[in-house]
Structure 1
Amino acid sequence: MKVAQLGSGTPEIAVVGGIHGDEPCGVRAVERLLDENPSVERPVKLVIANEEALERRVRFVDEDLNRAFPGDPDAKTHEGRLANELVEELSGCFTFSMHSTQSHAEPFAIVNEIGERAKSICPQLPVQAMVETSEFAEGRLFSEIDTVEVECGLQGSETAAQNAHRLTRAFLTAVGALPGDTVGRDLPVYRLVDAIPKGEADSYEVFVDNFTEIEPGDPFAAADGDMQVATESFYPVLMSSYGYRDVFGYAAEKLDVVTTSSAAD
């Protein structure tokens, strides 16, 4: 784990990249911010998390770090120990954590719950939607640390890296660490309600677009050509053919639309 800081004093804001070693966009955003070395109005902690997985260019070494929190200093896995170290490092910090996905090109935010802070900050970010994980938060960073996660774009793409930098600067402006104003936007809010399992197969297909409502009777995916059809309406989130080992993605319900108009914390 690499830790750096912008500004002096004790940070209450943190930016994290590299939770997964096959998602370099957040790492590039952190490195670019360090190169730019902007003057900040409140100190910011910058973290590149899973350096060993990044070096190997794999998602994780022993287990998914974003399912390993709070971790344990005596854990048998690399990520179990790292999770414990990261929780200690980020203690007391409102944290911005960057990811990328195989399922959706447009950035969106993920939060543990739709609290006042999430409703204030997320509409100031250049994202398409905000997703509450609800019961699917176990083991993720925001189960231990007050965190906004963002999916910056398609995994490994240059666009995701550019989005990560733009999103980071927007977040730091929204929390008052960088000077300037943000642009408020109407932001649809979704809540995950179910995981969509996929059985063992040689090939998988997904036929739907994330955040576009699926009606009963609509085919949405297939495993070895075996069509899966919706029995009730839902909004697909993080749906992809090969993004996850055991699930196609998640079914969500649409809750509301939130908006804000200015930088605030």
Structure 2
Amino acid sequence: MQTIERGSAGSARVAIVGGIHGDEPAGERIVSRLADELDESASGSGGVRLIIANERALAAETRYTDADLNRVFPGDPDSDEYERALAPRLAAELEGMDAVLALHTSHSAPPPFAIYSDLTESVRRTVTGMPVEYVVDSSRLRSTTLDSVVPHTVSIEVGRQGSEEAVEFGYEACLAFLRAHGALDDEPPTFTEKTVVAGDEEVPKGGGVPHVYFANFEEIPRGAVFAEDDVYTHRVDEDGVVPILASEHGYEEIFGIYGRVQGILEPPADGTTARGETADELATDESGGEETAE
């Protein structure tokens, strides 16, 4: 694990983590670029911590060496498995941070999206301050990921694995994250409302030739088949279901995750939307009601 310290324009302590999975080199590239470009001694009292997490897996160009790092938190410092022992070291590097952003790519199709497990005000600021339309509430899924264990952590899927587009989008998303928390003051942050999708259940894969028929966040009509192979035929029997991380070949055991749209997440109270409205103005619709995902 490599840790790089940079200065901040504000008082918040924030961190960006890349390279949790060794077959997702975009995160390492983004962190290295930020390390080259950010000021080492900015004027604020806070700080920016940049972390390249799983150097051994990155060197081997494999997702993990012994165990999936993003499935073993909080880990075990005495474990013989490299990633299981690495997990508590990484968590310790993030202790006390006001905001954390973890970078990922996937085999799934665009659009990029954010993921959180616990909606703190810091998390609200992170996700509404980044250039994504969708945010996934993963609190009903695994409890062994970085964002489910380390407070104020958001994960972001920046694009397709191995693509230059993912690197460029991820870099811009990191700048937006830093602006949202006051660590970068080159331009004002932009906060916008997001569509919240609750991740409900993983969709298992069996064997044979896989087929996926719907894209990420595309509503699956009642009665339609989302995905199938020689073992499973996954037919949706209710309205409002959308796929998350839908992929035919990206994952060995799942086609993706079923999600359900929960509502709209509003920007922080001191935020300003892309239209120039304050969050309070945006939260109230024409009828005087309020629609907020909590």
Settle same-fold status: TM greater than 0.5: yes
Distance in 1 separating the partners of 2:252 and 2:242 = 20
Other-structure match for 1:142: 147
Partners of 1:63 and 1:10 lie apart in 2 by 36
Question: CA offsets, 1:89-111, max 9 Å, x none?
Answer: 11111211000011122211000
Matched, 1:70 2:74: yes
The alignment of Structure 1 onto Structure 2 pairs a total of residues equal to 262
Q: 1:226 to 1:136 in 2, by over 3 A?
A: closer
Asked if the contact 1:100–1:160 (Cα under 8 Å) also holds between the matched residues in 2, the reply is yes
> Partner residue of 1:210?
216
Q: 1:136-172 CA deviation, whole Å, 9 max, x = no partner? A: 1321012221201000000010000011110111001
Question: Which structure: larger Rg?
Answer: 2
Cα distance between partner residues in 2 of 1:209 and 1:135: 22
Shift of residue 7, structure 1, vs aligned partner:
1.8
Long gaps (5+) in structure 1? none
> Could you list the runs of 5+ residues in structure 2 that have no partner in the other structure?
274-294
CA shift, 1:227, in A, is: 4.2
Correspondence list, 1:57-206, <5 A: 57-93=61-97, 94-146=99-151, 147-179=153-185, 180-199=187-206, 201-206=207-212
Paired residues of 1:11 and 1:45 also in contact (CA < 8 A): no
The 8 Å contact of residues 116 and 148 in structure 2, kept in 1 or not, is answered as: no
Q: Distance in 2 between matches of 1:142 and 1:84?
A: 13
Alignment correspondent of 1:262: 272
**Greater CA deviation, 131-140 or 79-88?**
131-140
Q: Which residue of 2 aligns with 1:55?
A: 59
The answer to which of 189-198 and 137-146 deviates more is: 137-146
- CA–CA distance in structure 2, aligned partners of residues 240 and 158 of structure 1: 19
Counterpart amino acid of 1:82?
L
- Do structure 1's residue 247 and structure 2's residue 254 form an aligned pair? yes
Note closer, same or farther for the CA distance 1:225–1:65 as it changes in structure 2 (3 Å cut). closer
Q: Relative CO higher for 1 or 2, CA cutoff 8 Å, sep ≥ 6?
A: 1
Residues 59 and 232 of structure 1: CA distance in aligned 2, closer, same or farther (over 3 Å): same
Q: Secondary structure of 1:135's match? A: coil
Contact 1:204–1:242 under 8 Å retained in 2: yes
Deviations 1:192-244 (A, max 9, x none): 11111111x13211110111111221121121496432122311111111222
Alpha-carbon spacing, 1:175–1:222, altered in 2? closer, same or farther (3 Å): same
Superposition CA RMSD, Å: 2.0
Residues 1:6 and 2:12 are matched in the alignment: no
8 Å CA contact 1:112–1:137 kept in 2: the answer is: no
Residue in structure 2 matched with residue 20 of structure 1 by the alignment? 21
Partner residue of 1:36? 37
Residues of 2 paired with 1:58 and 1:11: CA distance? 34
CA distance in 1, matches of 2:218, 2:116: 20
Structure 1: 4+ residue segments shifted above 6 A: 8-11
1:51 aligned partner, one-letter code = E
CA contact (8 A) 1:181 1:262 kept: no
Measured in 2, the distance between the counterparts of 1:198 and 1:11 equals 43
